Structure 1
Amino acid sequence: MTKTQQQRRQQWQQWIAGYRASGLSAREWCASHGVNPHRLWYWLRRFRTEEESGSTKWLPVDLSGVETKGQAEGLVPRWRPASNCPRDSWDTKSLKPRRSTRKRRRHACDGRTAKLRRLLKSNPV
């Protein structure tokens, strides 16, 4: 951090301390000190996030008195197959859905639709 950045940071820390001690709203304080309210909110948020990130503390946990069921049963993930997915619909090697080997049955209206399209193309309405 450069010297200018350190000075600006110290100046904003002093201004924020003065703002908090004044008891005024942010807009009132900014108007009386000639400060842009957006800048005040920016620095308030910046200092708050720095405080929050530095305040994380880890506590040691003593597990000496905890009884375990055995090494194999400790943390073994157990997976259940999905109930709404048929087993043979996915290829296990490529992890892609299998294509059906059966041909699709033709519906009675399939032929009519194709004929209708041809008629409409040849004789536009």
Structure 2
Amino acid sequence: MKTQDTFKFAETHEWASIEDDGLAWIGISNHAQEALGDVMFFQAPIIGQQVKQGEAIAAIESVKAASDIHAPISGEIVAINEAMDSSPELVNEKPYGTWLFKIKPSSSESLSTNLAGLISLAEYETGPGA
């Protein structure tokens, strides 16, 4: 997985890392996990599900709150991080080292359009993640 310096962030606190295999690895930001507190449960999207950028597709719950997770890009869910079933606290320990699910972008054109709607780590840290 690439470093958070290369991640793109949604204003809803999800990050996307476009990996060498063309898949987008999706997680939540450090700001989001801090706001949630101790994560207790992750409700994953369904493999094969078609998702649209900005759509609520999963949920994460902590002792303090529950929050929707939105798709930062459009495409198809192709993998779920099964470690989250038994160890959801991983997202608290390593928010930028723990992916939740992977999305195969609809097309390179839609990926470019979707990424244009996301922001860099520096922009995120001075805006919604500040």
TM-score relative to the length of structure 1:
0.17
Structure exhibiting the larger radius of gyration computed from Cα positions = 1
- Report the TM-score, using the length of structure 2 for normalisation: 0.17
Larger strand proportion of the pair: 2
Greater RCO, 1 or 2 (C-alpha within 8 Å, sep 6+): 2
